[in-house]
Amino acid sequence: MKITKLEYAATGAFSQTILDYLHGSEQLQPFYNHYPTIEAFEAQLQEKSFGQEQRQTLHQALQEQYTSVAAINPKVQQNIDLLLEPNTYTITTGHQLNIFTGPLYFVYKIVTAINTCKTLREKYPDYNFVPVYWMATEDHDFAEINYFNLFGKKYSWQTEQQGAVGRFTTEGLEQLLEELPEAYPVFEEAYRSSKNLAEATRVITHALFGEYGLVSIDGDHATLKQALTPVIEKELTEQLSYKLVTETSAQLEQLGYKPQVFSREINLFYLQDGLRERIVQEEGQFKVLNTDLSFSREEVLQLAKEHPEQFSPNVILRPLYEELILPNLAYIGGGAEVVYWFQLKKLFEAYEVAFPVLMLRNSALYINKGNANRMHKLGLAPEELFQDYQSLKKHLSAQLHEEEISLEAQRKIVADAFAQVEQLARQVDPTLVKSVGAETQKTANALQLLEKKISKARDNKHEQTFKQLENLKEKLFPGGSLQERHDNLLNYSTNNPEFIKALVDAFDPLDFTFTILEEV
């Protein structure tokens, strides 16, 4: 496997905010704690406080959740048990429960967490580091997770279920399995044997990443939710997150950075089977939208105390919840995720919770042997592929010793000639000037048309070459987007069973460059 590294800015696919962060912009420094270097983790280790009682609660919850896995990989069990030790910390990434793992970057997030732990173990041998996948089981936006793209075809899961997607039964996924071009044992077992999507996703991540010790956690758990009770109470009575996040968002906007998320006055949902709806305060009552449920202040606070599991944090409070129940040092996310964490620092300070190191997940372009051969045949280097099609076409034309067709010089000669004619007409009969102008425009249009015809004729000479370029761009950048945002893991692991291992070997989580993997 040939590895090429590329600056993120050179890809043209990342926001200015994330580029500024990676370059250590002073403007952004007030919005995070430690910049992600290997040395920064020394301070983070000292700042993260996590007691033994918290560790026991976490360990017990994970043991319960992993009963859905038939045979736990010894490396996973070891990591779960290590969480009881006071010198064990986690590196966390999170994502929705996309079926069949969804877009490829889901895998990239987890590999980044795995490799970060490996790097930290080498630097800080007196500590243990456990990679964690936070399963966003409480999300209810089913339309974002119910499909995936495989070999150019979109596969969708149809179901009428509602509420938190982690609680969805896997009914209907067996039909989807039958539609696939071949059988995939990992997904067959998960979707045919699990009682809900959360369990199925844990089975899948365990099968794919168990050998690396990945621990998957579901925050939709009654005992774990008890840690959120003080936050729920303050959210209901003071709307603290709304005040702090809105203030921070305004500061970011003043610096020219667009906020990724917007805080509501109450950033909580009411959660039951088949139901996850926003809680709003109206006329002294706490109401659950789109239902008849309504609580007085006393009733809702009593509910928070006795049944915190019936409250679900939204995107504003979920990061805080993660850090309350995990001995976590760093959060790994995509560009938009890292940016929205910037909006949360004051919220963490208010609750006196250590703000984690924010790390951009690894990104990659994977070029299989067939596409690599096409690339080399066209005389292109991997880093050149990020240019748009027209730029690459122009580049290829130059390689083919074909200059860009332009009649600009001729247009100037004609324009000068007509200018002289216009001057002569004005002297003889000014009424002829309008006729000269019309003929001038007619001739300019004719030259433009001829330019296009000549260009097209030239392009036709190399139509096959340009078609190969167009096809290569579409395969590597489907729909004009990064491969990782469209394609599914099975697009690559089907033909390369060592695909995940290749990622583990290639990704450096702390060098913050784009990785190009080329089969040779």
Please determine, for residue 476, whether its predicted confidence score (pLDDT) is greater than 90: yes
Give 89's pLDDT tier (boundaries 50, 70, 90): very high
DSSP 378: T
What is residue 404's predicted lDDT score, i.e. its pLDDT?
A: 67
| Tens digits of residue pLDDT in 242-259 | 999 999 999 999 999 999
- 35-41's contacts with Cβ under 8 Å and 24+ in sequence apart are 35/357, 36/330, 36/357, 36/358, 36/359, 36/510, 36/512, 37/510, 38/119, 38/120, 38/123, 38/510, 40/357, 41/120, 41/123, 41/124, 41/329, 41/330, 41/357
Q: What is the mean pLDDT of residues 200-210?
A: 98
What is residue 206's predicted lDDT score, i.e. its pLDDT?
A: 98
425 compared with 381, residue with greater pLDDT: 381
502 compared with 452, residue with greater pLDDT: 502
Determine contact, residues 487/478, Cβ cutoff 8 Å.
Answer: yes
Q: What is the pTM of this model?
A: 0.88
Dihedral sign of CA atoms 90, 94, 97, 100 in order: negative
What is residue 172's predicted lDDT score, i.e. its pLDDT?
A: 93
Q: What is the mean pLDDT of residues 409-424?
A: 88
CB atoms within 10 A of CB 263: 24
Q: Residue 31 is which amino acid?
A: F
Q: What is the mean pLDDT of residues 424-430?
A: 87
Q: In what order do the strands lie in the sheet with 328-333?
A: 215-218, 128-135, 88-95, 328-333, 357-360
| Tens digits of residue pLDDT in 21-42 | 999 999 999 999 999 999 999 9
Residues with Cβ within 8 Å of 256's Cβ and at least 6 positions away in sequence, in order, are none
* Four-point Cα dihedral 383, 385, 388, 394, nearest 10: 100
Please determine, for residue 102, whether its predicted confidence score (pLDDT) is greater than 80: yes
Distance CA 313, CA 241 (A): 11
Buried b (16+ CB within 10 A) or exposed e, 398-430: eeeeeeebebeeeeeebeeebeebbeebeeeee
What is residue 74's predicted lDDT score, i.e. its pLDDT?
A: 98
Whole-number average pLDDT of the chain: 94
CB atoms within 10 A of CB 126: 7
Give 451's pLDDT tier (boundaries 50, 70, 90): confident
| Tens digits of residue pLDDT in 331-385 | 999 999 999 999 999 999 999 999 999 999 999 999 999 999 999 999 999 999 9
What is residue 345's predicted lDDT score, i.e. its pLDDT?
A: 97
Q: What is the mean pLDDT of residues 416-442?
A: 88
Joined together, the tokens standing for residue 328 give 């976590």
Distance CA 142, CA 176 (A): 16
58 compared with 410, residue with greater pLDDT: 58
| Tens digits of residue pLDDT in 258-297 | 999 999 999 999 999 999 999 999 988 999 999 999 999 9
Per DSSP, the residues of 108-165 read: HHHHHHHHHHHHHHHH-TTSEEEEEEEE-TT---GGGTSEEEETTEEEE------S-G
Judged by average pLDDT, the poorest of 17-21, 86-90, 100-104, 433-437 is 433-437
Q: Cα separations (Å) of 469 from 59, 263, 377, 475, 478? A: 53, 45, 10, 10, 13
Joined together, the tokens standing for residue 23 give 């370059």
Beta strands in 153-214 (DSSP E): 153-156
Residues with Cβ within 8 Å of 408's Cβ and at least 6 positions away in sequence, in order, are none
DSSP 7: -
Query: What is the pairing mode between strands 153-156 and 215-218?
Result: unpaired
Joined together, the tokens standing for residue 224 give 């774990």
